[in-house]
Amino acid sequence: MSLLNKFKISEWQLLIILWFAFFLNQADRQIFNVTLPLIRGDIDLTDAEFGLIASSLIWTYGFLVPIAGFLGDIFSRRNILAFCILFWSISTFFTGFASGLIPFILLLGIATGGGEAFYAPSANALLSEKYTKNRAFALSIHQTAIYFGIILSGVLAGYIGEQYGWRCSFNVFGLAGIVLSVIFMLRVKNEQQIVRSSMHDIKKSLIDAIGVFRKPTVIMLTLAFAFMVFVNVGYLTWMPLFLVEKYNMSVTYAGFSSLIYHHVGALG
């Protein structure tokens, strides 16, 4: 009985909602990769230009995520999350209407990537504050959304793209995120948060944050993670297309095959 009381839906609704938000956070960026064979047949761009689109999202994300973490200590994390979920979902929806290199970079690379960058810092901090007694459990469950989001998006986006067109894949995932942002705003209320309101506090926080890069360990770990992401992004971007062209797989099966084996091990 005590176990059932411990897992009351009302007590865990923040984790549940943020799990689906993180799911979409990861899924939305995979739609382009999975449906690339369909986009490539519809829009006349070179492989280098398609690579630039995928890179623009990662570069935008990487540049903004430290800023997002810094702002998450100054402003309401709940409000940041409500805005960024809505913003990247709207961007994802309108990516379905993109017709060339510049619209793809603006909508998918900069807008979606920029909106998604503000999610993880505030979400992890909010979960840590909410579930102080179960912090490790809450964060680990939240983390599983990465792998479910990536893997399932390969199936769903591929299937929707094959049946109704690649544009519909972006529209469906975008609409799902917009609905979720409304649920988040209605169900998650602002909680007490210590914020740095004075310029002195903000300046001190910024200096402390930059100061961590004086440690060689931080620099080495940052470089190692950057190289890992470099390889991972290349794999995720081009593997579905490779499987379609090399082995004549369907887009749905190629999306599934390119993602499931790569991430099941990571989930374990």
Q: Which CATH architecture has domain 13-267?
A: Up-down Bundle (1.20)
Q: Tens digit of pLDDT for each residue in 191-239?
A: 666 565 566 677 777 777 777 778 899 899 989 998 988 899 999 999 9
Q: How far is CA 256 from the centre of its chain?
A: 18
Which whole number is the average pLDDT over 35-47?
95
Containing 16, the helix (H) or strand (E) segment is helix 9-34
| Predicted TM-score (pTM) of this structure | 0.90
The pLDDT, as a whole number, for residue 97 is 98
pLDDT higher than threshold 50 for residue 3: no
The pLDDT, as a whole number, for residue 4 is 45
Every domain of the chain and the residues it spans: 13-267
Q: Tens digit of pLDDT for each residue in 135-190?
A: 999 999 999 999 998 899 889 999 999 999 999 999 999 999 999 999 999 999 87
The pLDDT, as a whole number, for residue 7 is 54
Nearest to 251, CA basis, from 154, 108, 148: 154
The pLDDT, as a whole number, for residue 38 is 97
The pLDDT, as a whole number, for residue 188 is 94
pLDDT higher than threshold 50 for residue 243: yes
Q: Tens digit of pLDDT for each residue in 81-114?
A: 999 999 999 999 999 999 999 999 999 999 999 9
Q: How much of the chain is in helix, strand and coil states, percent to nearest 5?
A: 85, 0, 15
What is the residue-wise DSSP string for 114-126? HHHHTHHHHHHHH
What is the residue-wise DSSP string for 133-173? TTHHHHHHHHHHHHHHHHHHHHHHHHHHHHHH-HHHHHHHH
- Burial (CB count within 10 angstroms: exposed 0-12, middle 13-18, buried 19+), residue 26: buried
Contacts of 147 (CB under 8 A, 6+ apart): 263, 264, 266, 267
pLDDT higher than threshold 60 for residue 261: yes
Nearest to 171, CA basis, from 152, 186, 156: 156
Rg from Cα positions in the chain: 19
